[in-house]
Structure 1
Amino acid sequence: MLMRHIVLFRRKAEVPEDALLEKTVTERMASLGTEIPAIQGWKFAANELSRPICWDYVLEAEVADAKALDAYLFHPLHQALVADLKPYFEWAAVDYTT
């Protein structure tokens, strides 16, 4: 069994769009899966449809268990990315065992 970590991201409504910043942080999100040893699976994608209910991006990560999830969440590379994401994006997460 694995633990799956799913996160939805969208630009904060009160924050002006910054295409360069968004490109930079989403490229970092896309590549993070190869940089942290606890991660066993990694998918990152942009939303393809424009509907009010849709979020802008989805991240799906797989790790061995809750301990491995903590290793990922508290890894310095993840923490640095979170610090850069906070001013621009809001997000919602779900963690569950598969």
Structure 2
Amino acid sequence: MIRHVVLFKRKAGADKDAHLEGALTERMAALGAHIPEIRHWRVAANELVRPISWDYVLESEVEDAQALDAYLLHPLHQALVADLKPYFDWAAVDYTV
């Protein structure tokens, strides 16, 4: 299994838009149910405010690198990425579990 972890942070200088942010994170949370390669999917908001904190985390698992590629190239994922890019910066880590 490969664990795919992504941290999201509102872009520097981006005004907080609660409606947009809520819509984006709802779409993010729902995405896992629509892509067959995904075995585990969780999206959570940061609960503590610290200088090193990011705003959201996505934790997911897929069978292997081929399944990860299928997820990353899936049209629903690509559409969400296009909408996330103007509002969030992110960092990802992928590792074997």
TM-score under structure 2 length normalisation: 0.98
Other structure's SS at 2:41 match: strand
Match for residue 12 of structure 2? 13
What is the RMSD computed on CA atoms of the aligned residues? 0.5
Paired residue type of 2:5: I
Structure 2: which 5+ runs fail to align? none
Equivalents in 2 of 1:5, 1:43: separation in Å? 11
Paired residue type of 2:89: E
Length, aligned pairs only: 97
Paired residue type of 2:23: T
The structural deviation recorded for 1:94 is: 0.2
Match for residue 32 of structure 2? 33
Question: Identity of counterpart residues, as a percentage?
Answer: 71
Equivalents in 2 of 1:46, 1:67: separation in Å? 28
TM-score under structure 1 length normalisation: 0.97
What is the 5 A alignment of 1:1-98? 2-98=1-97
Paired residue type of 1:49: L
Other structure's SS at 2:38 match: coil
Structure 1: which 5+ runs fail to align? none
More helix as a share of residues: 2
Paired residue type of 1:11: R
Paired residue type of 2:87: Y
